Amino acid sequence: MKPIFDPGDQNAVEQASRMFGAFHRLEQLTLDDAPPGGRLSFARLYAYVGEAETDPEVEATLKDSASLRADYRRLVEKFSALFIPLAIAAESGKESVREGVGCRLRFVTSRAEPSQTYVIVEFTEEPNALASTLFLCDQFDNCHKVPLEAPRDGKVQLLLENSSDLLIRLMDKNTVIFRRS
Amino acid sequence: MDAQDAKRHAFEAGLSDSLRAAFRNAAEATAADGELMFPYSVSRDLAKAVACRNYAMLILQLCHLVNIADANGEDGWEVLFFSGKRASSSAFRGLIAERLERRDWRRAGFEVTIEGIVISYEDGRFNVPFARMPVLAALMYFLLETVGYKAADDAFSQMLQKATRQQAVSKAANQISRQLYEYLGDHLRAAQEQGKFEQIVSYLSEVNGGGEAEISDAVILSFWCMQTEANEDNDFKQYRSALRAFVAFVKAIEGGKSKGAVARPASIGQDRNAGEISPDILTADMELEGEWQSPLPLLESEPASRIRFLNNREQKDVSLLMDWGPLATAWPLSLLRYETFGFTQSRLTQAARSGTVGAEIDKIASCTDTENFIRRVERIGELGVHASETLKASAWILHQAAHDDADSEDDTVIDAHMLAARRAFKKLNRQGFDEVVQSNMDLIAGHRTGMEVMLSVRDRLAAWHEIASEIDASPPGLEGQFEADTECFKNGFHRLYGENG
Amino acid sequence: MKTRIYIGTPSGPVQVERIWREEGIAESMVCLKRTTEKLPIGAGYDDFVKRPSGIIEREFGPFEPGAFRLDLSNSINQGKSWQFAVFAAHALAHEGLLAGPDDPFERAIWLTGQVDNDLRLGGVTQVLEKIHCALGELQALAKEGKQVLLYVPKENSQALSSADLPPEIEGRAVASAPELLEAIGTPLTRRAGLTDATAVAAADRSTDQHRGKRAILGFLFLVLIAVVIAAGLILPGELIPEQPVPSGAEAVQETSAAAEPEPAAEPELAIAVTSPLITETEAKSEQEPAQLTDPLPTAVETGPVISIFEVHPSAIGDCPAVHFGANSGVLAEIEAASTGEFTSNTADKLCAIEFKLAPPPGQPYMALAIEEISGRYIEKDPLPVALKGTQPLSAPLTWRINLLLRMQKPFEYELHVLSAESAIAAEVYKSLKAGNFTAAGQSGMSITTAHHAVLP
């Protein structure tokens, strides 16, 4: 039987007008069609913290959303260990050091290629640490993920261009570094 | 489209795209095995709570569940919600028990009962049933998508510092409720919804010159065609949205009629302090006695959930028909149009968003690839047959369970119906339909519950199929109707998505 | 000569572009073309370099604290067949002879093979394939006039034979890394890699051995003199020279003095090289050569003439420029502090030491050996063939050694120069190099020794 609508029944119309919103919202929420743009789910973000590799799509989304970055940073802080806290600026000169929790970062300019710098991550208390992931977080909640191979003799050595974003972040006193095994 | 347009467009539905996306992320979250995390019924319950803004109690229960999760292990409350297992009562029960085997509760006051977890606070007791946990988990997912993880975690962290007091939990619940309320205030626009209602009323009033109007398939299609010619942007230009608005309209009308003339405040959702309608009433209104309720959620709950009566594809194919219930039989062509031309329009919308070239859009808009009505009706028919076969198979299982000499397979002893049932059982190769079932009491119970659901499904499908057959039997027939509809939709699509659209 | 080193791979030859000692870094690494891209064989290379598993630091060290950076022209991701080439590259780099991609060079060497802890070579796979992949490039180099050499382990000699090398490319199978280095003119002179303590101990041992050798020679000389006096050939008074004794006798006298516990007596016996030595040798010619049996050299009237020069940087240059041949430097002849004793100070910006050697009349064949007592030098150019005793010299010859840029301790050495009437037998030369000189089966020979200390 087809539904019937009587526009003259003011009471019914009035009742219906109040209820229409909720029913309509329900229909809209359960609509099949995907809304435009989509949105990175929190579940994906939660899983991403535990992944060693970077995902360009996730990184691009984080770049565009301050709220997602804040969520991501909170996840990093809760599920990884503090590695290098906010510290005094690295001293100028040929070599500089950032002290951390059971670790140290040393920066050594290459003599072979002065436009490159070695970063030596020393695990002072855990020389046999497993491969892990570093999260470099700045004051804008940008948390940059860096996979780190297992140390050899308690050290991991990176070689970076002086102009590289990663080196700049590592040396930046405003960068807090977390580590997740 | 510039940012301003985008914002306007985003709110045309009354619901922002962000809110829809957030809900979709929660509803379509997947478990580690690739299946949906939350049963359809759970997502539907969440949708109702959000639509009606009836979430305060749920949030309070959720905060207690976070307290349970935090006390249940050392890895943080998040682990209970992101374990990767599908959200069911038994999964939560199992997960909590598993963690208790590794170590006991981190603090006193928690007790596992058959039904759930009872928390004894310094200032009272609270019970969180296992059966409630799936919808609470869905709400958690939704909160994290809307209010955000940082804000929620701040509230939870503060709460957990005084985890022995119920007052602290209530405080956190209020805080989160406020945050969600504010979020929804930004993402739900009652004014747009009111406008849509008025638009439909106005249109229907014109259909019969102000008198009673029968809301038929033709009326809905005509409404949509009219919208495609209108200049202003609104989501009625999407056939599916227009149809769903009529579904909401009819449900609101039916609901309004049955509630009678009761003095009520002016509108909903504007300011709770101003003494507006309590959302709880609306939820009750949504579930009127005698009103059609889809039985499909029962298939997702225990004990029927252990049996694969319908696979994902079949579930999707029958869900709309089962959700609409009587409306599906009242509007058979609208349902067909929704599934066929509605799908084509989804493709067009996606193509337009992604900047697909005009020639490709024209091709889609020509509807040459649109599934025709006859094929769609055939699929409904096939589903009906499948429903019958599962009924027979379940019947065989129950029959075997009820008889002691289950090993006897002498054909002369089994009657014809049971013979057919046995054949159906042997043909069906699905979880819950194997030989082992006959000794498993839980599965037997599942079949009993599931049979009732599948009976309803079969009957609905059969009724609908009969109506479709009647349409086919009278001119112009389904094929003729499809051809006529193709012209209508093709023109509408070209108006909307063509070069001048 | 400047040499390019190529590693054989199935994808074509990979050049070792550069080896650089980086101060203060934790591990040696392999980079692609001077970029920051690390190659996966880096860990294996670090093991190859570092003690105790590695041989590079052991053979070519000690080095300043740090590690190596090796730059390759292309990727190598796995395996160990790069070891042979990298070992050779280190040996050449140690001498300043490794040519980078932009450096002028005279020779290209292609290698494949593993090197074990005892410097023996191990066979590798796909050798024939690697050679075929390299031939095009190697032939092009040969066409440009470069000497092109190809080395594989002995275990892979079959593959080498099957490779059917063109005539312009010389291929050889060798059994050990030292064998290769010998063949290409950069022999392993000593087992370096001593710690400071052991280096001192080694120097002490070397000094002790040196003194011991002198003691033996001195005793034999006394025996000889006793025999000669007994034979009435000479009178005791004639033993006391009016002028410095001839070189042969010098060496003998030097050692006889060394036999006494008092080292101060040594200088009186006119040992080391003074500058010039011509007067000494002329004086020596009046005396009869001492007839000595092994291990003593035959004393003759004349000996080779040795001049030693300090090499300083020019006004506009510095020592690295001198070391790499960009600047020839400024020479200053060293005057003896005392007879045969020379001292220098690197505070005067001393980059290198140059020797000028002139054969004595009648002894055109010369062989030279440097005996390191403490510290070390860097060989700038390989020892000329003419100073290995196989070719006669008709004119003076110069040869230069480089000093370390930053000397932490004195560099002290003795220069032994042997001259002979005929070609010097290989065994005799070998014994000179080994510091255990023997003139077995060879007559008409003189030996001259100079002692020089360069203070930091």
pLDDT in tens, B465-478: 999 999 999 999 99
Residue B451 shares a structural domain with residue B306: yes
**Do B225 and B322 belong together in one domain?**
no
Residues B475 and B331 reside in one and the same domain? yes
Q: Which of A79-88, B136-145, C275-284 shows the lowest mean pLDDT across its residues?
A: C275-284
Assess whether B282 and B313 both reside in one domain.
no
In 3D space, the residue among C426, C419, C456 whose CA is nearest the CA of residue C441 turns out to be C426
Q: Examine residue B391 and state whether it is found in any structural domain, yes or no.
A: yes
Q: What is the pLDDT of residues C39-94, one digit of tens each?
A: 999 999 999 999 888 999 999 988 999 999 999 999 999 999 999 999 999 999 99
- Residue B301 shares a structural domain with residue B262: no
Distances (CA, A) of B420 to B392, B411, B445, B448, C88: 7, 11, 22, 19, 84
B166-201 burial, b for 16+ CB within 10 Å, e for fewer?
Answer: bebbbbbbebbbebbeebbeebbbeebbbebbebbb
Residue C346 near residue C162, CB atoms below 8 Å: no
| Token output for C318 | 């510095």
In this complex, do B193 and A25 lie within 8 Å of one another by their Cβ atoms? yes
Chain B residue nearest residue A65, CA to CA: B148
Into how many domains does chain B fold?
3
Backbone angles phi, psi at C56, to 5 degrees: -65, -50
Q: Average pLDDT of C327-353? A: 78
Sign of the Cα pseudo-torsion (B281, B282, B287, B289, in order): positive
User: Is residue B117 included in any domain, yes or no?
Assistant: yes
pLDDT of residue C199: 35
**Average of per-residue pLDDT across B30-55:** 89
- CA C392 from chain center: how many Å? 20
Residues A58 and A44: beta-carbon distance below 8 Å:
yes
Q: Render pLDDT for B393-412 as a digit per residue (tens, 0 to 9).
A: 988 888 888 875 445 455 45
Residues B82 and B226 in one domain: no
Residues in C touching A157 (Cβ below 8 Å):
25-27, 29
pLDDT of C335 reads 81
Residue of A nearest to B287 (CA): A23
d(Cα B105, Cα C286) in Å, to the nearest integer? 107
Asked whether residue A103 is domain-assigned, the answer is yes
**Residue-range domains of chain C with CATH:** 3-183 (3.30.230.10), 196-271 (no CATH), 305-455 (2.60.40)
Query: Are B183 and B196 in a shared domain?
Result: no
What is the distance between the alpha carbons of residues B154 and A130, in angstroms, rounded to a whole number? 32
Cα nearest neighbour of A95 on chain C? C24
Tell me whether A114 touches chain C (CB under 8 Å): no
Reported confidence tier of residue A87, pLDDT bands at 50, 70, 90? low
Q: Would you state the structure tokens that stand for residue C255, as one six-digit string?
A: 């050692």
Stretch A38-48: mean pLDDT = 90
**Domain tally for chain A?**
1
Q: Do chains B and C touch (3 or more CB pairs under 8 A)?
A: no
ipTM: 0.89
Residues in CB range of B188: below 8 A, 6 or more apart: A25, B14, B15, B16, B19, B269
**A141 within a domain of the structure (yes/no):** yes
| Residue A94 pLDDT greater than 50, yes or no | no
Residue B485 lies in a domain: yes
Query: In the predicted model, what is the mean pLDDT of chain B?
Result: 85
Distances (CA, A) of B499 to B228, B231, B494: 14, 15, 8
For residues C56 and B498, the model is more confident at: C56
**B345 class by beta-carbon count within 10 Å (0-12 exposed, 13-18 middle, 19+ buried):** buried
What number is the average pLDDT over the span A10-39? 84
Residue A105 belongs to what domain range? 42-180
- Closest CA of chain C from A136, distance in Å: 20
Q: What is the mean pLDDT of residues B79-97?
A: 94
CB atoms near residue B147 (< 10 Å): 23
Domain end position, chosen among B142, B157, B187: B187
Q: Token match 């040499």: residue? A: C3
Asked, for residue B7, whether it belongs to a domain, the answer is no
Nearest 5°: the CA angle C17, C19, C21 is: 155
- Inter-CA distances, B379 with B335, B339, B371, C46, Å: 13, 12, 11, 67
CA B257 to CA A9: how far, in whole Å? 9
Q: Is residue A111 part of a domain?
A: yes
Q: Which of residues B171, B187, B203 is at a domain's end?
A: B187
Domain range for B418 is: 296-497
Q: Spell out which residues of chain B touch residue A14, defining contact as CB-CB under 8 Å.
A: 256
Cα separation, B399 vs B416, whole angstroms: 13
Q: Tell me how far apart the alpha carbons of residues C291 and C224 are, in angstroms, rounded to a whole number.
A: 8
Residue among A5, A13, A21 whose CB faces B212 most closely: A5
List, in sequence order, every residue forming a beta bridge with C372; answer none if it has no partner. Answer: C413
Question: B349 and B447: one domain?
Answer: yes
Q: How confident is the model at residue C337 (pLDDT cuts 50, 70, 90)?
A: confident
Quote the pLDDT of residue B344. 94
C328 strand-pairing partners: none
Binned at pLDDT 50, 70 and 90, residue C216 comes out as low
Question: What distance in Å separates the CA atoms of residue B346 and residue B489, rounded to the nearest whole number?
Answer: 13
Phi, psi of A139 (to 5 degrees): -75, -5
Q: Please compute the mean of the pLDDT values over residues B17-41 and round it to a whole number.
A: 90
Report the alpha-carbon distance of residue C303 to residue C297 in Å, rounded. 12
Domain annotation covers residue A34: no
Q: Is the pLDDT of residue B2 over 70?
A: no
If asked whether residues B268 and B340 sit together in one domain, one would say: no
C65 touches chain A (CB under 8 A): no
A111: nearest CA partner in chain C:
C22
Take residue C37 and report the two structure tokens written for it: 């891209």
Q: Is A93 left (phi over 0), alpha (psi -120 to 50) or beta?
A: left
B357 CB-contact burial (10 Å; exposed 0-12 / middle 13-18 / buried 19+): exposed
Which residues of chain A are within 8 Å of residue C23 when distances are taken between CB atoms?
Answer: 108, 111
Domain end call among B187, B206, B235: B187
Q: Is A28 on the interface with B (CB under 8 A)?
A: yes
pLDDT number for residue C292: 33
What tokens does B53 get? 């803004």
How many other C-beta atoms are found inside a 10 Å radius of the C-beta of residue C52?
A: 9
Same domain, B302 and B362: yes
Instruction: Convert the pLDDT of each residue in B264-290 to its tens digit.
Output: 433 444 444 433 434 444 555 555 445
- A 77-96 residues with CB < 8 A to B: 78-79
- Please give the pLDDT value at position C221: 54
- Name which residue leads in pLDDT, C273 or B26: B26
Residue C263: what pLDDT? 38
Cβ distance of A42 and B244 shorter than 8 Å: no
Of residues B309, B286, B284, B287, the one with CA closest to residue B299: B309
Interface of C with A in 208-227 (CB under 8 A): none
Residue B499: predicted pLDDT: 66
Asked whether residue C294 carries a pLDDT value surpassing 60, the answer given is: no
Position A45 scores a pLDDT of: 95
Tell me: the pLDDT tens digits for A113-169?
999 999 999 998 888 888 889 999 999 999 999 999 889 889 999 999 999 999 999
Contact B126, B64 (CB under 8 A): yes
Q: Indicate whether B197 and B181 sit together in one domain.
A: no
Note whether B273 and B162 are same-domain residues.
no
Residue B48 to residues B174, B175, B236, C53, C273: CA-CA distances in angstroms?
20, 21, 22, 69, 106
